[in-house]
């Protein structure tokens, strides 16, 4: 995994990139959060392609478990990907509700992620 640090509007934002899945299950998401929190990272960008597709199936509870922990530790997260074609009503509702807040956002581009996390 490669971490690229962005300075945007006086905020440091970590963008995570990898050739393999970064979040493959609840444990890997929890470990990631622990490592980021320990390093003092408070704003994180992760790309949809680095997250297991099961994360986006709300019945698996992977998203709920991981995102609750990000919220509890006040680590802001932006997930970058194309969410316009989401067919699941419950996932669309979940994304819409998340995007109303500041802790977890689902966005279309890196620039949008930087803007959301810098506010």
Contacts from 59-67 at CB under 8 Å and sequence distance 24+? 61/26, 62/23, 62/25, 62/26, 62/29, 63/94, 65/26, 65/29, 65/30, 66/23, 66/26, 66/29, 66/30, 66/33, 67/98, 67/104
pLDDT in tens, 58-114: 999 999 999 999 999 999 999 999 998 888 999 999 999 999 999 999 999 999 999
Task: Tell me how many degrees the CA angle 109-111-72 measures, rounded to the nearest 5.
Answer: 80
What pLDDT shows up at residue 86? 86
pLDDT in tens, 26-66: 999 999 999 999 999 999 999 999 999 999 999 999 999 99
Domains of the chain: 2-118 (3.90.190)
Q: Are 117 and 76 in contact (CB under 8 A)?
A: yes
């Amino acid at each position: 995994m490669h971490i690229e640090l962005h300075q945007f509007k006086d905020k440091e934002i970590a963008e995570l990139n990898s050739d393999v899945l970064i979040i493959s299950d609840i444990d890997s998401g929890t470990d990631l959060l622990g490592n980021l929190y320990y390093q003092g990272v408070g704003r994180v960008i992760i790309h949809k392609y680095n997250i297991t597709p099961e994360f986006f199936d709300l019945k698996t509870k992977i998203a709920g478990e991981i995102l609750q922990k990000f919220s509890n530790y006040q680590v802001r997260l932006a997930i970058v990907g194309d969410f316009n074609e989401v067919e699941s009503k419950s996932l669309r509702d979940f994304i819409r509700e998340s995007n109303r807040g500041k802790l977890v956002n689902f966005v279309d581009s890196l620039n949008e992620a930087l803007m959301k996390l810098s506010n």
